[in-house]
Structure 1
């Protein structure tokens, strides 16, 4: 019996491992929609419990509006109906965020993930009204995406309290790495679903009351993170902690050159599932970095297809 259940206000009852799936590119950096959909298939076939296209790993800030829409369409067409597809729809403006959310609903996404608006400083009342506008525009469940290290805008507990009271808000993906903040948010609003958004805190997040994880490592080695989640769900916390140590090692390997996201795509390449480069100005690993990554992942016995 799971003892970290989804929130009662979440109609999707999200739990388990939900990778923030990648956007594949051709060598000229044009979006490869077929390969993007195939990556969603790759992780679903390896046991994940949902997919989150157009998160950070999906490189959403580097895509045009039309590209973003087509990515959601491709992923829904490929795995919709098999697992929940929660579509990333966030943008700096409320206008664009609402438009992306409406499109996601039209094409069959199961929920929308709304990152806190970024670039401009955002005060609490404006954040509440932003989420209210999205919640009123669609009939899908809305999941708050809290990642202040990337957006520059942290939500106070008081502001989150107001957002959580919006009828359509079903949960949160928390990538703040602020465990006391997460504990307090979940204590005040246990009716919501919480997803831990840092691979460094998978077990910690589950222990804090999260029902699942949005894991970048699961984009490349979904089997590892699914095994960790299932061990924890079965009550084998010691096994889950052992697997968390392996996840730590994978994170370090991904960071050995370029960026964490370059590590994810390079690991997929090494698993013979090439999703192409990152879109500029992000870069892929060079040959030396890729060789180092190969050695580290081989030592961890993680390069089986």
Structure 2
């Protein structure tokens, strides 16, 4: 078992399962209370932190005011584990403003995706994160997801970013395992979070301290079990649970993009309703929903 340790530059010692919680909608109107209820659900399922306004939180489809209402609701609801809102935006100016609001609202840290749409060189990336870290007194975590942003960080750029005071870690959804392994090897002072359900066990093996899992938004106990089995040295069990996560991921991956998590949540007997997705995203159609329900029942998860 690799030693999944947290970096010395991270005052939160971020570790464990940190789901990218959903933004709930009521007929496409943001529902902050249900968003907070979902965050409470994953924490009660054993998760070690929450990450509102990530990809699963549909942050790019929200207005600034809507984003702030979600942050405030989740921060007010959760006090037992770190709350780490996503604050990223295409411009540095907006990212800084979002980070300042999150810190003032009481967030424990912020996660800032690399700017998207326009190409970004190394100097711009380093300046971007320096300005965010300079603006707030809470830890800043880089969110690296080049398939969605179009901007991959070079290892040399990450080296400069890692030297910025206040930068505490990185959530990697690149699915580039060699890049992530080299980043962890070069920067043991940072906390690294594996950001793909396809790479939870492998991420722990190469030294990630935490897992940002969409599957954990629906079945937090499953992913927490995987993490805890790994930490206990039960690698065979952790690998078996990763295999189950693959099956859940495949089942939730049918239909339109991003449909799986909210559709699967609607199949659980929960005391809150996260609603649908904001257009142009949408839930699964009835045929796919029934197929998903069948798969999850076959896996013993419903």
Q: 1:32-111, aligned counterparts within 5 Å?
A: 32-79=31-78, 81-111=79-109
CA RMSD of aligned residues (A): 1.0
- Determine the C-alpha separation between the residues in 2 that align with 1:169 and 1:8: 11
Pairing 1:112–2:110 present: yes
Q: Secondary structure at the match of 1:288?
A: helix
Q: Contact conserved, 1:88 with 1:113, CA < 8 A, in 2?
A: yes
Deviations 1:239-294 (A, max 9, x none): 000000000000100112112x2110011000033310000000111111100000
Deviation for aligned residue 1:2: 8.9
TM-score when scaled to structure 2?
0.98
Pairing 1:189–2:208 present: no
In structure 2, what is the equivalent of residue 235 of structure 1? 233
Q: Secondary structure at the match of 2:243?
A: helix
In structure 1, what is the equivalent of residue 18 of structure 2? 18
Q: 1:225-264, aligned counterparts within 5 Å?
A: 225-259=223-257, 261-264=258-261
Q: Secondary structure at the match of 1:282?
A: coil
Q: Secondary structure at the match of 2:30?
A: coil
The number of residues matched between the two structures is: 300
The answer for unaligned runs of 5 or more in structure 1 is none
In structure 2, what is the equivalent of residue 284 of structure 1? 283
Q: Secondary structure at the match of 1:194?
A: strand
Q: 1:78-227, aligned counterparts within 5 Å?
A: 78-79=77-78, 81-227=79-225
- Determine the C-alpha separation between the residues in 2 that align with 1:299 and 1:200: 20
TM-score when scaled to structure 1?
0.97
Deviation for aligned residue 1:203: 0.4
Deviations 1:226-245 (A, max 9, x none): 00000001000000000000
- Determine the C-alpha separation between the residues in 2 that align with 1:145 and 1:136: 17
Q: Secondary structure at the match of 1:285?
A: coil
- Determine the C-alpha separation between the residues in 2 that align with 1:2 and 1:23: 34
Deviations 1:131-183 (A, max 9, x none): 00001000110000000000000000011110011011000000011111011
- Determine the C-alpha separation between the residues in 2 that align with 1:178 and 1:103: 32
